[in-house]
Structure 1
């Protein structure tokens, strides 16, 4: 029967092959303790490809013919959970930085660039855009852009479509929901759509953090939250200097609540509040 998958679990050899591939492709670490979860997340890929078991799937995805499938595999294995204004203290810092430095720079004709790295479904980037507009509703008249990237093409597609079920908007204060979103009722559900002022500030792009970065301009702020927690220490330590190199000397790097730079001074950073880092020169 087409799409039927064996009830047999993943073998140790197949698990190792998939884990090694996920690490090479995206830096993702798959623990043996998570085997049941990994099987559950990948079974729909086996059905979609009409592959009967994990042994055949691991052989396929590791082959040259399976290069395209690797993107689907990484998408299935990554956790895309986000909320509007998650870890609000970072947005408070951003608001102050805008008032004290970035907004005067913009008014003086300078550029401001903000990167949401690991943007998931777009809530973080939209929260950044709302923060900008709260500080100055005319901020979009200046040269300010938010780049929002994620390795998962599916969440980038969702973010570009920008159609948020009501359950995903719980972090937005009601007055901001009314101000920045339009509501449409479709059957039993309500959906919210960000307005043009928000969307025009953001560019969504697919990007693997472990690959080359196409950005030519330095960033004023980088949000990379709840992403590196899935990387091992070696991969993290390779990433910090790259962030430092693309961040302006007076910029900000925000990490997730469970993430830390083990030796910030080695990478050229200093701590500046909870999971907030700035270049040593700032």
Structure 2
């Protein structure tokens, strides 16, 4: 197909695709995202040599391996992040949440932290750096950090551990020097191997029970700025998945514009000095309405 003749996406096409994508991912595109969606659909129609939207949509739905759906997910999801973003959550982690969590840990029992969506890796690597630099008890505990995203391309990027100057701009210079090696004349920074190897990355759709089943006894979840892309039903599914994955007394951090209280009654609100977070009640404890 010529790049001068883009496939026409009708209102009916947009509605069909929006419903299909929502069923597969839990992500809802409202009408304000129409241009964004149309542009990416037109790119995939062209790149797959499909005749038009109908031809492409039939292939998308009936492709056995689902490779095209994954490619579409990769270009439809937003990956905007940087190191130490919303740092107050990390400060709350080392000052308040972890000291409370370890009181309930048996000797040798690991601390599990889950970053979702992890995008290109800035958040889980920030967690690892913050723990090493600012949690005085890090040497006493085995900490496991899991990171997941629905976008396989961005996960590959995260595993490589190469970041732009913009991504690391909020890191204090001593930490940048300690954990990174400059590359391409200082235009990029490569994460050092010892830190890069401490994160377990996986492709996960949080609205699919089969994807989230592997996460159990998680003590702390960072899920910041994901739920704003979901509708109420998908938000509740995600909240229930997180609840099932968490240990009693575990914490979840949301983005500054998100509120678990408006999504689910499963969690209680905890107000610490540095941040407001949400907690799975201890066994036998009830959430106050």
TM above 0.5, one fold? Answer: yes
Corresponding position of 1:233 = 232
Corresponding position of 1:255 = 254
Check conservation: 1:259, 1:275, Cα contact below 8 A.
no
Aligned length, in residue pairs: 279
C-alpha RMSD of matched pairs (Å): 2.6
How much does 1:109 deviate?
2.3
Specify the SS of the correspondent of 2:166.
Answer: helix
Gaps of 5+ in 2: none
Corresponding position of 2:182 = 183
**Residues 265, 48 of structure 1: alpha-carbon distance in 2 compared, 3 angstrom cutoff:** closer
Check conservation: 1:264, 1:270, Cα contact below 8 A.
no
* Mean Cα deviation higher: 152-161 or 27-36: 27-36
Specify the SS of the correspondent of 2:247.
Answer: strand
Corresponding position of 2:154 = 155
Corresponding position of 1:60 = 59
Is 1:193–2:190 an aligned residue pair?
A: yes
The Cα offsets for residues 252-278 of structure 1, whole Å up to 9 and x where unpaired, read as 100112211244772133243555111
Corresponding position of 1:6 = 5
The Cα offsets for residues 87-129 of structure 1, whole Å up to 9 and x where unpaired, read as 1110111111476245677894221110001100100001100
Corresponding position of 1:124 = 123
**Residues 46, 8 of structure 1: alpha-carbon distance in 2 compared, 3 angstrom cutoff:** closer
Measure the CA separation in 1 of the matches of 2:37 and 2:215: 37
* Mean Cα deviation higher: 194-203 or 76-85: 194-203
Measure the CA separation in 2 of the matches of 1:181 and 1:216: 30
Is 1:206–2:203 an aligned residue pair?
A: yes
Equivalences for residues 53-132 of structure 1 within 5 A: 53-65=52-64, 67-97=66-96, 100-101=99-100, 108-132=107-131
Specify the SS of the correspondent of 1:168.
Answer: coil
**Residues 71, 237 of structure 1: alpha-carbon distance in 2 compared, 3 angstrom cutoff:** same
Measure the CA separation in 2 of the matches of 1:264 and 1:192: 38
The Cα offsets for residues 208-265 of structure 1, whole Å up to 9 and x where unpaired, read as 1112224253111001111111111111122222212221222210011221124477
Check conservation: 1:60, 1:66, Cα contact below 8 A.
no
Corresponding position of 1:170 = 169
Structure 1 length normalisation: TM-score?
Answer: 0.88
Check conservation: 1:219, 1:251, Cα contact below 8 A.
yes
Structure 2 length normalisation: TM-score?
Answer: 0.86
Check conservation: 2:216, 2:244, Cα contact below 8 A.
no
Check conservation: 1:116, 1:224, Cα contact below 8 A.
yes
Corresponding position of 1:270 = 269
Gaps of 5+ in 1: none
How much does 1:141 deviate?
7.7
